[in-house]
Chain A
Amino acid sequence: METLITILVGVLVTVAVYLLLSKSLVRVILGTAILSHAVHLLLMTMGRLKKGAVPLLGENAESYTDALPQALILTAIVISFAVTSFLLVLAYRTYKETGSDNLDALRGFKDE
């Protein structure tokens, strides 16, 4: 299962990178969202999958799944949510100020 998930991670990263290289601001934001999905899955596989019970001590199981990646992913989910929402609002504001969501047109230099 780990192998297949890792390949899935690779596919997600590929898609995310392709989107990040787009001109449209919304596509770039979508790319970051997908990239964080990929990273969450990657973290998960690093702790090995399905190797024990749910990490709740009350279950009295023989062994538990690795809880550390789960904690890290939980943090990451929340942070990526914050980043995505901030970027979305940034895109909204940029569009309102400049009338464009095209990154090529939003280039900083005026002199060239």
Chain B
Amino acid sequence: MLAITIAIFIPFLAALLVPFIYKRVQSRSIGWFVMSVPLALFIYLASFIPAVAGGKTYIHTIKWIDSAGINFTTYLDGLSMIFGLLITGVGSLVILYSIYYLSEREALGRFYVYLLMFMGSMLGVILSDNIMVLYVFWELTSISSFLLIAFWYHRKKSRYGAQKSMLITVSGGVGMLAGFIMLYTMTGSYSVREIIETIGQYTNESLFLPAMLLVLLGAFTKSAQFPFHIWLPDAMEAPTPVSAYLHSATMVKAGIYLVARFTPVFGGEAVWFYTVTGVGIFTLFWGSVNAVRQTDLKALLAYSTISQLGLIMSLFGLGSAALNEGYSADSVIYTQATFAALFHLINHSTFKGALFMVVGIVDHQVGTRDIRRLGGLMTLMPVTFTIAVIGSFSMAGLPPFNGFLSKEMFFESVLNVRNLDIFAMGPLMGSLLPVVAWVASVLTFVYSMIIVFQTFLGKHQPDRLDRKAFEAPVGMLIAPSILALFVVGIFFFPNVVGTYLLGPAMTAVYPPFEGAEGLVPHIAAWHGFNAPIMMTIGVIAVGALLYIYLRYWRGIYSLAPMRWNLDSMYNGLLTQTEKTSSFLTRTYMTGYLRDYLVYIFVFFILTVGGGLLWTGGFSIDLSNDAPMTISEYIIIFVMMGASIAIIFAKSRMTAILLNGVLGYSIAILFVVFRAPDLALTQIIVETVTTALFLLCFYFLPEWSKEKSTRSLKVFKGIIAISVGTVVTVLALVVQGNKMFESISVYFENAYELAGGKNIVNTILGDFRAFDTMLEVVVLFIAGIGVFTLIKLKAGKGDEDVED
């Protein structure tokens, strides 16, 4: 379907139009135009849902660099569908929200250009089948994220956050590129579908494991998995709509998408299983631990996002176990983890998007996000409060919200691992996972309660707020309300999502399981008093206790191991790198022309001279030399003598006259060599050059004797003689070995081909006319340079540009 390919480019085209429209309307109504783009795309994509649910996939190829196997192939299947709907759906809501959130004084045009650019890149990531194209879009999302984080670029923290996210995600992306190239080296294809089909034969190749780890590096940096999660809290410097959109609902899920997309490639391997599950579950734990200590609501949400991304990641890791043995009635149970992951992915986007918007509203209305200053807003902002309750309780895993369903499935999946008898999974590992998951869930419950109770309940402190609190305008409440509706709606009708969205995506993740029974389970809110529900009850009980006694145990955060942090390592690394590179550069960039020339010459001697020695290419053949007359000997020896004498010339006048001797001797040699045109030109040019030298000498000081030490002179001499020797030997070797026929015979047809009898002239004026024209341009530029240098007066005040 060509239309799907076009869908990727529509946001980019719209981004191009935005500046022109913004010039005309100059107000926030530009947002309505921008919003129409994702909304239209959402409706368009949604129209494919029935067909995709029926097992259909759409593919379209535009030839790009066919010879290198890089083509613009778009592929729409169940997995892309989920992400596509999230990107366009949440995108529409975020833009709607931003229309009311951002002040008219902001650079709205720029904001929406970046946002549309991001949207297009994100669609490109999830719809591309060709991994090279995917990579390009992947990095484009990093760049647009950088621009959006740095939207308020006058703030130092914004710039810091933007740089940090860029450095971390892009270096991960480059690692991923290396992984992709390794995959290509193994399979000979850049197409994900083709790689999935053929990867089975390559699992024992030595590149397989590095490729897997590098692809994971890309996914982990993008999805803020431990220890790369440190960029996400700093990225919260972006405007809140951006945080809601990029840094919780879509971009950070690109890493999840990558893991899901590559599960059929790498899934079933023990390393993949342990890395993805382990990193995911630890990120879940670490994120929730850190979220509890935050006092800034947005930072709290950032850590909670990290934690939730870890949850989804670990589920994909658990789910990959099913691919180890292929389809069987036993292995299908492990696919439930992936089902839960996809389900939670959607749920997280809904409740976390709503929560970010709520925090944005609070910030917008009262001027602070610090929970120590907030409190008692429930009666003042009832609608916001309701949305916050829905979002937070869903995040905590309480009914009747969608988070409850996916959380239960998560518990069930980690419990299933105990029965896993592959990958050397002992009883210890098997029981460790549920314990960590449960502890993290308790902490998740605690911070979810912090959001609701410390912001909206408790004592209202009007004197500590910047503005008087009252409910936000309706426009700002629409978007989070819609998301909150989804949070509740999905709880009551989970199987609609299950059948139409999750089912087809499951087939995309498990191609060998297509149509297998039990791949798409029935989601039920209630399934008896089993282990997951017990765990949930435990979470609520312990979580509630921990929340109530929060101030008694918060002290553990100031303990030593908690203070040790990755941020200072990152900052230290950055400053060290800057210092070292600056030191290195200063060491060799001395500012002396001589030093730079010495680098060049030494490099020349080592590579060319060394190359000659290394290959042993000396075969000098002097037999074809032309005979010489006495007069020619005289000219040559005169030239040698004159040139050497220049070095020892006491005055510049002597030197320039000796240079004249060289020039005119060359003219004579040109006559000897049957080159009349050259001789004429040389005589004219030499005359003018000598005149020019003399003219300049009138203005320049007499050249002082080179006051240099003896050792420096010797050093210069050695370099000079070495270069001269290398050139001579190289030239002799080249002359002794004609490897190719001369092409000059072609030009002897000059009269028929170009209508000229002087071959040299026809070459210049006909065969290589373009070359000659550019030569004239060079002359022209030099002429302008000479003219300006003589005539131009330096403007006053320009002098201190360097300082």
Contact = CB atoms under 8 A, between A and B. Distances in A.
B692 interface: yes
Closest 8 A/B residue pairs (Cβ): A14-B724, A10-B728, A82-B782, A71-B763, A67-B759, A18-B720, A55-B759, A17-B720
Nearest to B620: A3
A24 to B, nearest CB: 5
A1 B677 contact: no
Instruction: Give the interface size class of chain B.
Output: 35 or more
A47 B696 CA distance: 36
Contacts of B287: none
Contacts of B624: 2, 48
Among B624, B744, B768, B794, the one with the most A-chain Cβ atoms within 10 Å of its Cβ is B744
A104 B592 CA distance: 6
Given A10-B727, A37-B662, A77 B685 contact: yes
A77 B700 CA distance: 25
Contacts of A30: 646, 655-656, 659
6 contacts: A6-B731, A15-B646, A55-B675, A82-B783, A88-B696, A97-B794
B47 interface: no
Contact of A50 (B673, B676, B704, B794): B673
A18 B735 contact: no
B744 A47 contact: yes
Contacts of B674: 50, 52-55, 65
Contact of A74 (B593, B597, B678, B786): B678
A38 B643 CA distance: 11
Interface of A: prevailing SS:
helix
Given A54-B676, A57-B751, A12 B643 contact: yes
Contacts of B704: 24, 102
Interface stretch (B131-139, B445-453, B626-634): B626-634
Among A19, A49, A55, the one with the most B-chain Cβ atoms within 10 Å of its Cβ is A55
Contact of A44 (B673, B751, B779): B673
A20 B724 CA distance: 13
Interface in A13-62: 13-15, 17-24, 26-28, 30, 33-34, 37-38, 40-42, 44-58
Interface of B: prevailing SS:
helix
Interface stretch (B194-202, B322-330, B528-536, B770-778): B770-778
A71 B490 CA distance: 80
Interface of A: 1-15, 17-24, 26-28, 30, 33-34, 37-38, 40-42, 44-58, 64-68, 70-71, 73-75, 77-79, 81-86, 88-93, 95-97, 101-104, 107-110
A101 B700 contact: yes
B727 A82 contact: no
Nearest to B734: A46
A48 B736 CA distance: 11
B794 A46 contact: no
B764 A74 contact: yes
Nearest to A102: B704
A59 to B, nearest CB: 9
Given A19-B646, A96-B699, A103-B594, 6 more contacts: A17-B719, A17-B723, A24-B703, A44-B670, A75-B764, A107-B591
B562 interface: no
A75 B772 contact: yes
B492 interface: no
